[in-house]
Amino acid sequence: MQISQLAQAGCSVWLDDLSRAKLTGTDSHSLPPRIATDGVVGVTTNPAIFRSAIAGATEYAADIAALKGKSVEEVITKLTSDDVRQACDLFADIHLESNGFEGRVSIEVDPRSAHDTQATVTEGKALWQIIDRPNVMIKVPATIAGLPAITELIGSGISVNVTLIFSIERYLQVIEAFIAGIELAKERGEDLTKIHSVASFFISRLDSAIDPLLKADGTVLAHSLLGAAAIANAHLAYQSFEEEFATDRWKVLAANGANLQRPLWASTGVKDPAYDDTRYVLELVAPHTVNTMPQSTLDAVIDHGIFKGNTISGKYEEAKLVFNQLTELGISINQVTADLESDGVKKFSEAWNELLESVKGAMA
């Protein structure tokens, strides 16, 4: 299928990957052709992506050698921000043509600061200045400490990608933090038309957590719910998006030029080979959405994806039924999503520490 079909339905396609090799064309899946022919209009990164990109890669050796005398943290900031800045430049025309909605490239604050509001704000503002491109997005985890950081960064005119969202409850808090940030930006005289945000809802990890519980249950009902939780969760999130951005409070801000905070579907690579490898893309299509996918998922969608149009709107009752049935089986969505958030922060922190060790070894 053509990625343009998703775009016409209001779903933007971003690539969840970045490396020096992709930027320079030494990777077999280099970024420029993906932009030119495949319809990719943005890029997201995370600590695990940077770990995979930098660890042992020869493309970074010269830069690491040139930064002798710097701390390992300074070296990593230089390497990652340079890559993101170059990617921003690749997407500059798309960013301009889309009035800032597309051509976005995300970079995450140090995940070890996920539970420290002030450290997140300080690093977010620093990254915004270092990269110095209007189409960069600063990625902030949706932890309790991250929520006020989101408000402050948005209030300072900084575009933010809120990451690691798993539950509807936390998503509503993210929307509140965003709207409060837009109100703060308005009070401070910031240009609201320049501020953009996405709320990154993680998809496949929910099925990966709930499916083993269903298999252990073994009942007919449990078997019927395999692979249903993640998509249902995203559908209910989209319902919340529609409701929260239809309020009078938001309409006042929109009238002053504020842009919607779009839902972004992340972690859309299918983990279970029993499932269709395009399901977390083609079952999550609706206006004002973004789907950031790994290379393998993008290739699968292009190769054999079957476009179904809007697959979210009107399916909210079905999604609620899935959640009610999970509750009947004694599965606590709140507990599962809380564990996923904690585990997500932990995994990104571990990836960052592994990157630190790898770069430290290269500097020796």
Decide: 325 and 121 in contact? Cβ < 8 Å: no
Element at 361 (helix H, strand E)? helix 333-363
Q: Whole-angstrom Cα distance, residue 206 to residue 336?
A: 8
Residue 139 catalytic? yes
Dihedral angle at the C-alpha atoms of 107, 109, 110, 113, nearest 10 degrees?
-160
Catalytic position from the list 22, 139, 186, 315: 139
Residue 286: strand, helix, or coil: coil
Angle at 11 between CA 206 and CA 280, to 5 degrees: 25
In degrees and rounded to multiples of 5, residue 313 shows phi and psi of -55, 135
Q: Whole-angstrom Cα distance, residue 312 to residue 119?
A: 37
Residue 259: strand, helix, or coil: coil
Q: Whole-angstrom Cα distance, residue 162 to residue 166?
A: 11
Q: Whole-angstrom Cα distance, residue 292 to residue 42?
A: 8
Decide: 16 and 280 in contact? Cβ < 8 Å: no
Report which of 64, 62, 48, 53 is spatially closest to residue 26, judged by C-alpha positions. Answer: 53
Q: C-alpha 160: how far from its chain's center?
A: 10
Q: Is the dihedral of CA 143, 155, 179, 7 positive or negative?
A: negative
Q: Whole-angstrom Cα distance, residue 223 to residue 40?
A: 36
| Residues designated catalytic | 139
